[in-house]
């Protein structure tokens, strides 16, 4: 039936199903986004309206979930990568019984509402991931899929208890973003058959038809990635939709791509199928006509659009979910009884590992650190830590095709289609997707994920890092080749602005250890911190072990900053340093001490850790009366003025590097003992 015929027919529903209650529920799900956005004057109704029939079938007929227990371990996961269509999820969460009320829809996009403009983890029951930047949800869903398959492979013993279906809803914009292609390619290579992508093929973006900039054969692309491709030609035929969704969740050794041909904003007479349906209110008259087409009074209010008979039908999801959860719990109890080793191991992992065992492994690494004065790259020590912790099973990750160079190679078998329980992940040259995949693994909850590349390439990952920080997910980004000391590879590979830039991300801990002892000390804290992502910044070149002459106190390292070396009371000046520049700072301090200057050197591996310390400890390390302060770091220095103030100075790298030996580039860019000494003299003279 053509759209104009549907719109002219006042007698029949546009939704087709032999079940009148299901038809009415879908009419409600289509009408609500149009009404809510019109009432508020802003928001995104078009996609939420077009996909409402599919979402209804998914949540009421296909999805394994229990609205009364949103955190039930056996549930499927639903990720809305096209996060602007958040009303699509909120409507289903309201209708199926997740605890939302009509007033929550009215308050959507408002301060402190449970229905923010884009889905946010922790704000709304039933939301599995914060999404919004397009394509991110696709890649993080790949991470969830990887983690679930590994969980089942290592613990499930063929029961299927820990292998849910991960559903990700994506639009044209998501598939235009490069991150989705990176992640989808890897998902096909790894045979993630617990992953289903529902693609809203509406052929509309904000600027107009997608063919203005997007003309590829998306279905052929996904077949080339190794995905199975299914079609939903008519989302208004609910039985047909259910058949395809049930087929999609069948395990075939490949991820599944479901192309859904929709009309954005349907059945709006004025905006359906146009870019105007993407955002904003449709207009009073148009929304009234939408309601009439959906067999509601044109002036129906929010409560009128949710009839009691609709709730009676959709809230059957509570009974259905309770039955599924109870059946799962019975199977889970049997699994615990018959698989005690797997059960015990999984419980330990869910708690973050065995603290005593982790401490013993780190003690072993610490005992193997060379004597003071030896030259060891911090990336090398970090590699030894990862290898020591690997048998404990708490860490899981890999690199963007750089495992040997960044020293994150661990023993064992890599993940592939035949080995979902592999010991590490080969991400390939996919830095952006790697970062978002790590977020999905972290949200799954069993492992502390890590991924590694060169620091200069962290720029590829910024949107994913930002979302991990927003969600407080404990991802560890291992960055090596941390400064212009990279040397001969030249300025394209020599990070200058990256450390300072990463330090601006809220809730991201940027940690730059100075030597082997600080690397181990940092990990003593990291293995227990499950609330913050961490950028661990490491040197390629060798740096002196214990540059102060003796190993530092591990407890002080974990506090973010400590006095590493001091002449007298250190009352005349303070030199602050991180990473490879700590040894240089200590040498400069010794020169000043020979001149009678009472100078202290403060190692600050992580300023955010230090900021969380009590005020009395911070004052002990950096007394407020000590105004003569100098920072030295081989990167941009703007962020350091918060520590040195207007009276202090920063010795830093303020231009890109150049190709040449690392030591020569550092000297040319001013990272020298002499420059630090001169800076301290100037600051003392000016205070």
Using alpha carbons, list the distances in angstroms from residue 227 to 58, 192, 589, 673: 21, 9, 61, 57
504 plus 423 within the same structural domain:
yes
Task: Give dist(CA 566, CA 561) in Å, integer.
Answer: 14
Three-class SS of 123-174: CCCCCCCCCCCCCHHHHHHHHHHHHHHHHHHHHHCCCCCCCCCEEEEEEHHH
Last residue of a domain, one of 544, 575, 596: 544
534 plus 566 within the same structural domain:
no
358 plus 317 within the same structural domain:
no
Contact 287, 258 (CB under 8 A): no
Using alpha carbons, list the distances in angstroms from residue 641 to 293, 583, 647: 62, 21, 9
Q: Which two tokens stand for residue 12?
A: 């029949």
Task: Give dist(CA 634, CA 671) in Å, integer.
Answer: 7
100 plus 199 within the same structural domain:
yes
Please give the residue range of the domain that contains residue 600.
554-686
On whether the pTM is more than 0.95, the answer is yes
Last residue of a domain, one of 525, 544, 563: 544
Residue 97 in this model has a pLDDT that exceeds 80:
yes
519 plus 578 within the same structural domain:
no
Q: How many structural domains does the chain have?
A: 3
State mean pLDDT over 449-478: 98
Helices (H), 407-484: 431-444, 462-470
105 plus 242 within the same structural domain:
yes
Determine the 3-state secondary structure of 356 from DSSP.
Answer: helix
CATH of residue 456's domain is 3.40.50.970
Residue 8 in this model has a pLDDT that exceeds 60:
no
383 plus 530 within the same structural domain:
yes
Task: Give dist(CA 427, CA 400) in Å, integer.
Answer: 5
State mean pLDDT over 180-201: 98
Task: Give dist(CA 560, CA 555) in Å, integer.
Answer: 9
Task: Give dist(CA 495, CA 492) in Å, integer.
Answer: 8
Residue 220 in this model has a pLDDT that exceeds 50:
yes
Q: Catalytic: 128?
A: no
Q: Is 634 within a domain?
A: yes
354 plus 408 within the same structural domain:
yes
Contact 472, 507 (CB under 8 A): yes
State mean pLDDT over 171-196: 98
Using alpha carbons, list the distances in angstroms from residue 60 to 53, 90, 315, 326: 11, 14, 9, 18
The continuous run of DSSP H or E covering 396 comes out as: strand 395-399
Task: Give dist(CA 262, CA 202) in Å, integer.
Answer: 5
State mean pLDDT over 114-143: 98
What's the mean per-residue pLDDT of the chain? 97
Q: What is the pLDDT of residues 589-618, one digit of tens each?
A: 999 999 999 999 999 999 999 999 999 999
392 plus 528 within the same structural domain:
yes
Q: What distance lies between CA 293 and its chain's CA centroid?
A: 41
Q: pLDDT at position 23, please?
A: 98
Task: Give dist(CA 81, CA 79) in Å, integer.
Answer: 6
Contact 407, 418 (CB under 8 A): no
CB atoms inside a 10 Å sphere around CB 499? 24
- Cα-based angle 21, 23, 27 (whole degrees, multiple of 5): 115
Residue 3 in this model has a pLDDT that exceeds 70:
no
Closest alpha carbon to 659 in 419, 429, 490: 490
Q: Is 361 within a domain?
A: yes
Contact 502, 508 (CB under 8 A): yes
Three-class SS of 273-307: CCHHHCCCCCCHHHHHHHHHHCCCCCCCCCHHHCC
Q: pLDDT at position 687, please?
A: 81
Residue 2 in this model has a pLDDT that exceeds 60:
no
Q: pLDDT at position 5, please?
A: 38
456 plus 535 within the same structural domain:
yes
414 plus 487 within the same structural domain:
yes
Q: pLDDT at position 116, please?
A: 98
518 plus 573 within the same structural domain:
no
Q: Is 330 within a domain?
A: no
Q: Is 345 within a domain?
A: no
Residue 686 in this model has a pLDDT that exceeds 50:
yes
State mean pLDDT over 513-534: 96
CA atoms within 13 A of residue 5's CA, in its CB half-sphere = 2
User: Helices (H) and strands (E) in the chain — how many of each?
Assistant: 28, 20
Residue 631 in this model has a pLDDT that exceeds 60:
yes
Residue 121 in this model has a pLDDT that exceeds 70:
yes
Q: What is the pLDDT of residues 145-163, one digit of tens each?
A: 999 999 999 999 999 999 9
Determine the 3-state secondary structure of 25 from DSSP.
Answer: helix
- Write out the DSSP string of 378-391: HHHHHHHHHHHHGG
Which residue out of 431, 581, 607, 633 is catalytically annotated? 431
Band of the pLDDT at 11, cuts 50, 70, 90? low
Q: Is 636 within a domain?
A: yes
């Amino acid at each position: 039936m053509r759209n104009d015929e549907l719109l002219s027919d006042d007698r029949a529903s546009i939704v087709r199903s032999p079940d009148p209650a299901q038809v009415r529920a879908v009419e409600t799900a289509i009408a609500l986004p149009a009404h809510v956005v019109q009432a508020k004057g802003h928001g995104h109704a078009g996609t939420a309206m077009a996909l409402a029939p599919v979402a209804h079938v998914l949540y009421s007929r296909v999805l394994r979930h229990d609205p009364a227990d949103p955190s039930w371990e056996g549930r499927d996961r639903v990720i809305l990568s096209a996060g602007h269509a958040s009303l699509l999820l909120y409507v289903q969460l309201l209708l199926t019984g997740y605890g939302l009320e009509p007033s929550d829809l009215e308050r959507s996009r408002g301060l402190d509402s449970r229905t923010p403009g884009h889905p946010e983890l922790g704000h709304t029951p039933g939301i599995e991931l914060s999404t919004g930047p397009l394509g991110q949800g696709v890649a993080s869903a790949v991470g969830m899929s990887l983690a679930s398959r590994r969980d089942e492979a290592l613990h499930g013993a063929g029961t299927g208890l820990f292998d849910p279906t991960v559903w990700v809803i994506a639009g044209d914009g998501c598939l235009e973003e490069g991150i989705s292609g990176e992640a989808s390619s890897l998902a096909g290579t790894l045979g993630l058959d617990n992953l289903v992508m529902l693609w809203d093929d509406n052929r509309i973006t904000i600027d107009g038809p997608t063919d203005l900039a997007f003309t590829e054969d998306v279905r052929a692309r996904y077949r080339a990635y190794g995905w199975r491709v299914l079609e939903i030609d008519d989302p208004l035929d609910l039985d047909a939709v259910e058949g395809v969704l049930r087929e999609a969740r069948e395990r075939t050794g490949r991820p599944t791509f479901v192309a859904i041909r929709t009309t954005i904003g349907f059945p709006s007479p004025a905006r359906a199928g146009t870019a105007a349906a993407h955002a904003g209110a449709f207009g009073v008259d148009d929304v009234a006509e939408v309601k009439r087409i959906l067999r509601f009074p044109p002036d129906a209010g929010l409560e009128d659009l949710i009839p009691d008979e609709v709730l009676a039908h959709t809230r059957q999801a509570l009974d259905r979910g309770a039955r599924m959860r109870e059946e799962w719990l019975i199977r889970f109890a049997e699994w615990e009884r018959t698989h005690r080793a797997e059960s015990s191991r999984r419980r330990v992992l869910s708690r973050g590992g065995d603290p005593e065992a982790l401490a013993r492994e780190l003690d072993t690494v610490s005992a193997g650190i060379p004597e003071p004065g030896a030259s060891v790259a911090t990336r090398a020590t970090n590699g030894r830590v990862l290898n020591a912790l690997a048998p404990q099973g708490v860490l899981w990750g890999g690199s963007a095709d750089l495992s040997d160079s960044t020293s994150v190679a661990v023993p064992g078998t890599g993940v592939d289609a035949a080995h979902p329980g592999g010991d590490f992940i080969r991400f390939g040259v996919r830095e952006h997707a790697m970062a978002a995949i790590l977020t999905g693994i972290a949200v799954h909850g069993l492992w502390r994920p890590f991924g590694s590349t060169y620091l200069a390439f962290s720029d590829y990952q910024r949107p994913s890092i930002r979302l991990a920080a927003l969600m407080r997910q404990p991802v560890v980004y291992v960055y090596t080749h941390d400064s212009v000391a990279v040397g001969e590879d030249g300025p394209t590979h020599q990070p200058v602005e990256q450390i300072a830039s990463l330090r601006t991300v809220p809730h991201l801990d940027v940690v730059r250890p100075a030597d082997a002892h600080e690397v181990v000390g940092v990990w003593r804290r990291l293995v227990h911190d499950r609330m913050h992502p961490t950028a661990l910044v490491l040197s390629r070149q060798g740096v002196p072990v214990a540059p102060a002459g003796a190993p530092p106190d591990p407890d002080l390292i974990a506090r973010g900053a400590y006095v590493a070396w001091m002449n007298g009371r250190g009352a005349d000046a303070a030199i602050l340093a991180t990473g490879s520049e700590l040894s240089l700072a200590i040498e400069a301090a010794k020169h000043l001490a020979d001149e009678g200057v009472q100078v202290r050197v403060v190692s600050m591996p992580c300023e955010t850790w230090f900021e969380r310390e009590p005020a009395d400890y911070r004052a002990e390390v950096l007394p407020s009366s000590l105004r003569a302060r100098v920072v030295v770091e081989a990167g941009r220095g703007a962020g350091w003025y918060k520590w040195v103030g207007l009276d202090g100075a920063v010795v830093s790298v303020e231009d890109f590097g150049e190709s040449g030996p690392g030591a020569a580039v550092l000297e040319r860019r001013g990272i020298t003992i002499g420059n630090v000494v001169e800076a301290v003299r100037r600051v003392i003279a000016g205070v």
